[in-house]
Amino acid sequence: MSNKPRVGLFIPCYIDQFFPQVGLATVEILKRLGVAVDFPEAQTCCGQPMANTGCNAAARPLALKFFEVFKKYDHVVCPSGSCVAMVRHHYDEYLEGEPGFEELKRNTFELCEFIHDVLAVRQLEGTFPHRVGLHQSCHGLRELRLGSSSEIVGESYNKVRALLASLEGIELTRLQRPDECCGFGGTFAVSEEAVSSMMGLDRIHDHEQAGSEILTAADMSCLMHLDGLIRRQHKPIRVMHVTEILAAATRDAVRIVPGELEPSTTVP
């Protein structure tokens, strides 16, 4: 165990406060894949809301704090593409030249990306007999390139979809606009409330016509926005973070990768 890489768990502030089940599912799936994680309790927020509003002076201390908290880890894993994109693509301004920063940038991963690229697990043993619609969260897609975007010409791939598709019984629905933004956009959701809500409703309609029973994404922020619209309109669609699906689907499965594994705990 001691020569295993140390993995720091980075749980975005709003997941910590509002969606703890997503954090727990992240721990669960990583454990099941043989990864021991450490959750440094000093962490709060990566500073993205401030940076995206242009308030860089307010974002700076949070970037420095993040760096202090996470620089000791070999890998940092987070169930949010958007927060990882903040670290990887928008921290240079605050931390460029800092010893250890380049390593931190290189070693901070979105959860699916970590499973797919670092653990090199492409096939999960699990069952999830549901019709699932994958919402491609923009920052995961176009900043982290977790998948190919519809604008770019080239080979088509998608790491999140690949992991989901490997589950037995899952049916991934076909959308008319496979990677249009849901309209969350951070403070945009509030300052441009009308357009933001219209964008969200349009995404939900696309999932309705496709017959999605569960709407999933690798970013809880998009789902928080979509779920807010769904619940207000009492629509029969549920949202689940990708991590929740992966954890739930593999809960009863036998071991996935060789190595030390927790005995699977069956929930009655």
Q: Give whichever of 207 and 225 is closer to other proteins, judged by the CB atom.
A: 225
Pick out residues in 160-179 that bind other proteins (CB under 8 A): 177, 179
Q: From its phi and psi, is residue 47 left (phi > 0), alpha (psi between -120 and 50) or beta?
A: left
- What DSSP character marks residue 168? B
Residue 205 Cα to chain centre, angstroms: 23
Judged by CB under 8 A, does residue 152 bind other proteins? yes
Judged by CB under 8 A, does residue 110 bind other proteins? no
Binding region for other proteins (CB under 8 A) out of 19-27, 103-111, 117-125, 248-256 = 19-27
- Per DSSP, the three-state class of 38 is strand
Pick out residues in 183-222 that bind other proteins (CB under 8 A): 183-202
Judged by CB under 8 A, does residue 228 bind other proteins? yes
Q: Token digits for 268? A: 């009655």
Return the residue of 33, 204, 217, 229 that touches other proteins, per CB under 8 A.
229
Answer whether 11's CB lies under 8 Å from 43's CB: yes
Name the minimum Å distance from CB 8 to other proteins. Answer: 13
Judged by CB under 8 A, does residue 126 bind other proteins? no
- Per DSSP, the three-state class of 260 is coil
Judged by CB under 8 A, does residue 254 bind other proteins? no
Q: Give whichever of 52 and 166 is closer to other proteins, judged by the CB atom.
A: 52
Q: Could you write out the DSSP letters of every residue in 207-268?
A: HHHHT-SEEEES-HHHHHHHHHHHHHTT-S-EEEEHHHHHHHHHTTS---SSS--PPPPPP-
Return the residue of 21, 121, 131, 165 that touches other proteins, per CB under 8 A.
21
Judged by CB under 8 A, does residue 63 bind other proteins? no
Answer whether 114's CB lies under 8 Å from 106's CB: no
Judged by CB under 8 A, does residue 181 bind other proteins? yes
